[in-house]
Amino acid sequence: DWDGAVLTDRARGIVAEAAQASTHVQTTRIEVNGYTDNTSAHPGPRGAKYNLGLSLRRADSVKAELIRDGVPASGIDIHGYGEAHPLVVTQPDTREPQNRRVEIILH
């Protein structure tokens, strides 16, 4: 959701699948990357900094869910990229749900 880091039921299901997949393949670590679109609850120069923090909160929410699903915390790295690396390139100040995401990468 816009300006949120709470996992939906669907997201929890996807995280559970990733946690289970990490036990079936030789995984040395899990990378959890959070992102935002280029809008912000705090417009202006503070917006990009706010979105960076929001992307970290999103990644941290997924990490917490992975841990609840049995993945050891020591094997999870989180990163927040804020508005960088959009999935869909948009005009400035555009709400784009696909850019508000967390990616789970198994290494």
Q: Is the dihedral of CA 14, 16, 17, 18 positive or negative?
A: positive
Helix, strand, coil fractions of the chain, as percent rounded to 5: 40, 15, 45
Phi-psi region of 76 (alpha: psi -120 to 50; beta: other; left: phi over 0): beta
Homologous superfamily of 9-92+97-101: OmpA-like domain (3.30.1330.60)
Hey, where are the domains in the chain?
9-92+97-101
Give the pLDDT confidence score for residue 43 in this predicted structure.
Answer: 79
pLDDT digits (tens, 9 = 90+) for 34-87: 999 999 988 777 999 999 999 999 999 999 999 999 999 999 999 999 999 999
- Alpha-carbon Rg of the chain, whole angstroms? 14
**Region 7-34: what's the mean pLDDT?**
95
Is the pTM higher than 0.85? The answer reads: yes
